[in-house]
Amino acid sequence: MGAMGAMSSSDVHQDLSATIGDAVFSAGKTKHVYKLVIMNELMVAKKFFNCGNGIGEVSAAENESFLVSEITRLKSIAWILDEFKDTASVKGVDISQDITVTEAWIFRESNITASKASGLFANGSSGSAVWLVEPRRTKAVDNAFSHYVYIASKKTFVLADVQGSIVNIQGIDTIVLFDMMMHTTEQDSGVGDCGKPGINTFTEQHICTYMCGSLGFELMNQVDDE
C-alpha cells in the first residue's frame, strides 16, 4: 500500500492520515474501490471511472459531483430509516433492527502529490482527488462462516460472493443467504466457479474477525497486517 498522507473529511473538517492501496480492490460498473486504512481501521475508498462517457473519461470535478450525489442519497435514506425505526418503536411494531445504511464520508486528498490510486482521472483534468469512504462492510457471522466453510471443505472450496437478505420466518428476522456460488479446486460446482484463482482470492481477501479467533480457526488476514 502506498502512503497517502493527509486527507480531510468533509463533514468534520478534520485532517486525518490515511494509507490507500495502489491497486483496485474491487470494481463495479461505474466505480473502482480501493482499500484504505485510517487509524488501523480498514475502510474502502470509492471513485468513479465511468459515469456514462466511457471508461476512464471521468474528470476530477465529475467524480466529486457524482460522489456528493451518492453520499446525499445514503444520508437521505439513513435519515428515513431512523424515522422508520422510531415510528415502529413508538407503535410497538417489532421490525428488524438489522437493517442499516452504511456510514460514509467524503474525503479530499490534501497532499501536494496525489496518491497513485487517484492518478487514474481523465488526462488533463485538474482538481484535487475526492473519495467516498465507507467502513468495509462485513457481516461478522458470514465472515466467520465463510472461513469455516473453507476449513470444513479441507480447503477444497470456498463460498463466492455470499448475498444475504433479511426475511421474517415464523416471526423471527433471519438473514437468509442466497446466490450460493462456490469456487472449487476442481472448478466443477457450476456457474460462478472460478476454480483455484477464486479460492486464492478468498484467502487473500478474507479478513478474520474476533469470531474466527474465538472459534479457534487458523487466522489468515488481519486488518493490521496490511
Note the residues at the interface with Zn ion (CB under 5 A).
147, 208, 212
* Closest separation in Å from C-beta 148 to Zn ion: 8
Q: For residues 32 and 147, which CB has a smaller minimum distance to Zn ion in the complex? A: 147
Q: Which three cell numbers, joined as nine digits, stand for 56?
A: 476512464
Strand partners for 36: 20, 43
* Closest separation in Å from C-beta 5 to Zn ion: 31
Q: For residues 146 and 184, which CB has a smaller minimum distance to Zn ion in the complex? A: 146
* Closest separation in Å from C-beta 212 to Zn ion: 3
Task: Give the E-state strand segments of 39-113 in sequence order.
Answer: 41-48, 105-109
Q: For residues 60 and 212, which CB has a smaller minimum distance to Zn ion in the complex? A: 212
* Closest separation in Å from C-beta 198 to Zn ion: 17
What one-character DSSP code corresponds to residue 147?
H
Q: For residues 33 and 212, which CB has a smaller minimum distance to Zn ion in the complex? A: 212
In whole angstroms, what is the distance from residue 49 CA to residue 63 CA? 8
Q: For residues 44 and 212, which CB has a smaller minimum distance to Zn ion in the complex? A: 212
* Closest separation in Å from C-beta 138 to Zn ion: 10
- Residue 55 amino acid letter: I
Main-chain phi, psi angles of 114, to 5 degrees: -70, 155
In whole angstroms, what is the distance from residue 47 CA to residue 120 CA? 10
Residue nearest to Zn ion (CB): 212
User: Alpha carbon of 48 to those of 11, 27, 126, 130, 160: distances in Å?
Assistant: 21, 10, 15, 10, 25
DSSP, collapsed to helix, strand or coil, labels residue 182 as strand
Q: For residues 147 and 183, which CB has a smaller minimum distance to Zn ion in the complex? A: 147
* Closest separation in Å from C-beta 37 to Zn ion: 18
> Do 44 and 36 form a contact (C-beta atoms < 8 A)?
yes
Name the burial class of residue 29, with classes exposed (0-12), middle (13-18) and buried (19+) by CB atoms within 10 angstroms of its CB.
Answer: exposed
